Amino acid sequence: MAEKPVDQLNETEARAELARLSVILGEANQDYHTKDAPQLSDAEYDQLKRRNGEIESRFPSLKRADSPSDKVGAQPADGFGKIRHAVRMLSLSNAFDSEDVSAFDDSLRRYLGLAEDTPLAFTAEPKIDGLSLSLRYENGVLTQAATRGDGEVGENVTENALTISDIPQRIDNASDILEIRGEVYMSHADFTALNERQEAKGDKVFANPRNAAAGSLRQLDAKITRARPLKFFAYSWGELSAPLADTQIDAIARMKALGFQTNPLTKLCTTPQDLIDHYKAIEEQRATLGYDIDGVVYKVNDLALQARLGFRSTTPRWAIAHKFAAELAWTRLEAIDIQVGRTGALSPVARLSPVTVGGVVVSNATLHNEDYIAGRDSNGNDIRDGKDIRVGDWVQIYRAGDVIPKVADVDLSKRPSDATPFVFPETCPECQSLAIREEGDAVRRCTGGMICPAQAVERLRHFVSRSVFDIDGMGAKQVEQFYADEWIKEPADIFTLEERFGSGLQKLQNREGWGEKSAQNLFAAIRDAAKVPLGRVIFSLGIRHVGESASNLLARHYGSWNAFEAAVVAANDPESAAYGDLLSIDGVGAVMAQSLINAMNQPAERASIDRLIAQLDIQDAEKPDTADSPVAGKTVVFTGSLERMTRAEAKARAEALGAKVSGSVSKKTDIVVAGPGAGSKEKKAQELGITLMDEGAWLELIAE
Ligand SMILES: NC(=O)c1ccc[n+]([C@@H]2O[C@H](COP(=O)([O-])OP(=O)(O)OC[C@H]3O[C@@H](n4cnc5c(N)ncnc54)[C@H](O)[C@@H]3O)[C@@H](O)[C@H]2O)c1
Ligand SMILES: [Zn+2]
């Protein structure tokens, strides 16, 4: 349901909406901070939180006592000891673009009464995407480690923190009380390896490195934490018995001197433009850092000014987090793989150096089709200014909601000098058959049909479907299972199943869901199904563009399998009479003809078709005796309800007599057969002066 814009809410709606958002955001906080298993994407969460804030500022009197705006994180989870922070641990306010950054600078100057030309310096620090941890050292010894919790009270994870090698257990030259704060995180490589181990053990896998880090630190059993490769960057502090330094940048240097890891991308900046430049520089390196960051934090450098600026309810006034766009990230394209879909479509897939986009690690993205890679849309117009996509390129990944990630853009300035244009394969990577692209089709398709493993299951499903072979006891489910068991690889195998099993009735009976009776019934149904009309056989081959009615037309035209087969083989020569004859069939166009010819002239697919034909008892089609049929060559439309036959039957009989049955009335229509309830078609026939008759008259005409 689309949400109503905030400026259109009335007071009652606003109150209800705030109540709803408080529940949703409360649950999301629990899922994210306490269970380390978010159900919403970060972008969705941020959007709801922003909406909540907007409603509150439009209706200040409606702000709830338990407003999500006043909350940091979530309450400590049960099971952990609780630690009350001597100094609160807060969140950060956000900037999303450079205007927000200038506004931040302006608001600080206003608050501090600084003139425009008075310098105001900031640190710019990567915003590490992990979870914050406060470490308390007393006389140089680590005595307590606490998570942020709800900002006031955190979880006691001291035992767990002691297992992290980046965290010193003792510090020389420390003041009596020293609280160091920073981020616990997991590298991409460790995250991938952890998930592989978890998966192998059948344990929970994590959506992203942040959840993995949080889930690993927040373990009631510190032995589990020990086995998890966690890291720590220090960037802040809590209670101190002696100040670390006078400025943010020196405080960071001091923490480094004390033995902590600090982030090397931290930089002192003197103007908002400096901040933006460093933000861009960091964003460019994001995919190669080896760990996740989700923005850059700007902090007033002068700690005396930080003290003057102080705090709002959940955020410091002296800092802001400039977030990266949630749906976008740059990374390297490592390879382009071709996947073959169930209908034979060749789809290019980008293999990426893993990057977290919107809270999910992305290592594959779609490249759509060969035109898209080449920088063209389906009409041949340039996309991305005509930039093509090459292996080795630096590419922008786009991911919104749950849609498959896409490669949106290329940075040509970073293209390796030896990168070459991607050559789209002209053969199927699964079966090596020719892959062709028909005119007007954006997609290249494998022509391997039955012999293509990627398409086999789909072909088999089509083969056993209702309108084709319709074998009792052999539906899509069974055929998929038999394929998975390698009992059936192609349609011909269905008919040799019983013989191949020999006494192996047993084999089938041992399968879940099969008893002696059902197995015998299946074999009987298969035997019955082998006797089949020619049209159905042609349709069963699943040749592209050759649908049910075209199959019947072909069957009636050629009469027997042998005639059909010989004709289509001969038609491979476009100069041949056979080709002309094939095209002369009303309802067979050049595209369908080519598709038929391809299927019947490719050795591997032909061999598979021949194996099937050898198993069948094909009923010849009756050629319409057009000579003495009164409706031969006529175009007939049936409309309204028929009482003595079904619509399908009427159509089949008319076609058998050489008539063409159409769904709509036009000048080309010769006869309209109108039953009760006929509407516009009957009227149109009258207008056009077309022969109109009822069902009885029609049956008389065709002498039944
Ligand atoms: N998907 C969900 O359901 C869901 C639910 C709740 C929160 N969230 C996400 O969590 C975030 C909000 O959580 P938050 O309140 O922790 O805010 P935040 O993560 O946006 O910012 C505050 C945190 O940044 C971290 N940080 C990293 N590097 C830092 C540095 N150099 N200096 C200072 N702090 C640094 C600290 O841990 C700090 O607590 C949002 O991005 C939101 O999307 C998502
Ligand atoms: Zn193939």
- Determine the atom of ligand 1 nearest the C-alpha atom of 130: 37
Q: How far is the CA of 46 from the centre of ligand 1 (A)?
A: 11
Q: For 494-535, how does the pLDDT look when each residue is reduced to its tens digit (9 = 90+)?
A: 999 888 876 556 677 777 777 888 888 999 999 999 999 999
Question: Residue 273: is its pLDDT beyond 50?
Answer: yes
286 or 410: which leads in pLDDT: 410
Q: Are 619 and 532 in contact (CB under 8 A)?
A: yes
Residues of the binding site for NAD(+): 42-46, 91-92, 125, 148, 183, 299, 323
Q: How far is the CA of 91 from the centre of ligand 1 (A)?
A: 6
- Please compute the mean of the pLDDT values over residues 113-123 and round it to a whole number: 93
Q: Are 571 and 593 in contact (CB under 8 A)?
A: yes
Give the pair of three-digit tokens for residue 651. 């159509």
Question: Residue 233: is its pLDDT beyond 50?
Answer: yes
Q: Which residues are within 8 A (CB) of 85 and not within 5 positions of it... i.e. 6 or more apart?
A: 134, 146, 151, 152, 153, 154, 238
- Output the residue whose Cα is nearest ligand 1's atom 36: 132
> Of the listed 49, 127, 231, 681, which one is catalytic?
127
Q: Are 352 and 367 in contact (CB under 8 A)?
A: no
Q: Which of 591, 698, 245 is nearest to 582 (CA)?
A: 591
Q: How many H-runs (helices) and E-runs (strands) does the chain carry?
A: 25, 24
Q: Which of 426, 417, 419, 394 is nearest to 407 (CA)?
A: 394
Q: Output the pLDDT for position 652.
A: 72
| pLDDT-based confidence at residue 14 (cuts at 50, 70, 90) | very high
Q: How far is the C-alpha of 662 from the C-alpha of 657, rounded, in Å?
A: 15
- The percent of the chain in helix, strand and coil, each rounded to the nearest 5, is 40, 20, 40
583 or 440: which leads in pLDDT: 583
For residue 455, the ligand closest to its alpha carbon is 2
Q: Output the pLDDT for position 502.
A: 66
Give the pair of three-digit tokens for residue 668. 């080309």
Q: For 526-578, how does the pLDDT look when each residue is reduced to its tens digit (9 = 90+)?
A: 999 999 999 999 999 988 889 888 999 999 899 999 999 999 999 999 999 99
Q: For 373-395, how does the pLDDT look when each residue is reduced to its tens digit (9 = 90+)?
A: 999 987 888 989 999 999 999 99
Range with lowest mean pLDDT among 133-147, 243-257, 541-555: 541-555
- Output the residue whose Cα is nearest ligand 1's atom 44: 42
For residue 37, the ligand closest to its alpha carbon is 1
55 or 34: which leads in pLDDT: 55
| pLDDT-based confidence at residue 632 (cuts at 50, 70, 90) | confident
Within 10 angstroms of residue 687's Cβ, the number of other Cβ atoms is 9
Question: Residue 656: is its pLDDT beyond 70?
Answer: yes
- Determine the atom of ligand 1 nearest the C-alpha atom of 131: 37
Q: What is the ipTM of this complex?
A: 0.95
* Percent of the chain residues past pLDDT 90, beyond the cut: 62
Could you say which DSSP state residue 430 is in? T
- Please compute the mean of the pLDDT values over residues 50-64 and round it to a whole number: 94
Range with lowest mean pLDDT among 60-69, 153-162, 176-185, 578-587: 578-587
Known catalytic residue at 231: no
> What H or E segment, with its residue span, contains residue 125?
strand 122-128
Ligand 1 test: best mutation among 27, 29, 92, 184, most atoms within 8 Å of CB? 92
Ligand 1 test: best mutation among 32, 129, 206, 299, most atoms within 8 Å of CB? 32
- Output the residue whose Cα is nearest ligand 1's atom 41: 42
Q: Are strands 231-240 and 267-269 parallel, antiparallel or unpaired?
A: unpaired
For residue 604, the ligand closest to its alpha carbon is 2
Put simply, whether the predicted model's pTM sits higher than 0.95 gets the answer: no
Q: Output the pLDDT for position 513.
A: 75
> What H or E segment, with its residue span, contains residue 389?
none
Q: Distances from the Cα of 54 to the Cαs of 48, 50, 117, 418, 583, in angstroms?
A: 10, 6, 33, 51, 67
| pLDDT-based confidence at residue 1 (cuts at 50, 70, 90) | very low
What the chain holds in terms of domains, given with CATH numbers, is: 6-71 (1.10.287.610), 94-323 (3.30.470.30), 328-414 (2.40.50.140), 456-529 (1.10.150.20), 534-619 (1.10.150.20), 626-701 (3.40.50.10190)
Could you say which DSSP state residue 210 is in? H
What average pLDDT is seen over the chain? 90
| CA dihedral of residues 586, 590, 592, 594 (deg, nearest 10) | 140
Give the pair of three-digit tokens for residue 244. 């670390």
Residues with C-beta less than 6 Å from any ligand 1 atom: 28-29, 31-32, 38, 40-42, 45-46, 72, 91-92, 125, 127-128, 132, 148, 183, 235-236, 297, 321
Q: Which of 149, 120, 117 is nearest to 248 (CA)?
A: 120
Q: Whose structure tokens read 């941020």?
A: 46
Q: How far is the C-alpha of 247 from the C-alpha of 301, rounded, in Å?
A: 5
Question: Residue 149: is its pLDDT beyond 80?
Answer: yes
Q: Output the pLDDT for position 645.
A: 75
Q: Distances from the Cα of 431 to the Cαs of 6, 92, 132, 327, 447, in angstroms?
A: 56, 55, 52, 37, 9
Give the pair of three-digit tokens for residue 498. 């019983």
Q: Are strands 346-357 and 328-340 parallel, antiparallel or unpaired?
A: antiparallel
> What H or E segment, with its residue span, contains residue 33?
none
- Output the residue whose Cα is nearest ligand 1's atom 38: 91
Q: Output the pLDDT for position 626.
A: 61
Range with lowest mean pLDDT among 168-172, 207-211, 301-305, 609-613: 207-211
Q: How far is the C-alpha of 316 from the C-alpha of 308, rounded, in Å?
A: 11
| pLDDT-based confidence at residue 402 (cuts at 50, 70, 90) | low
* Percent of the chain residues past pLDDT 70, beyond the cut: 97
Q: How far is the CA of 377 from the centre of ligand 2 (A)?
A: 25
Q: Are strands 635-639 and 660-662 parallel, antiparallel or unpaired?
A: parallel
Q: For 307-336, how does the pLDDT look when each residue is reduced to its tens digit (9 = 90+)?
A: 999 999 899 999 999 998 877 899 999 999
- Please compute the mean of the pLDDT values over residues 254-267 and round it to a whole number: 97
Q: How far is the C-alpha of 117 from the C-alpha of 270, rounded, in Å?
A: 11
Q: Which of 227, 199, 195 is nearest to 211 (CA)?
A: 195
- Please compute the mean of the pLDDT values over residues 55-67 and round it to a whole number: 94
Could you say which DSSP state residue 338 is in? E
| pLDDT-based confidence at residue 199 (cuts at 50, 70, 90) | confident
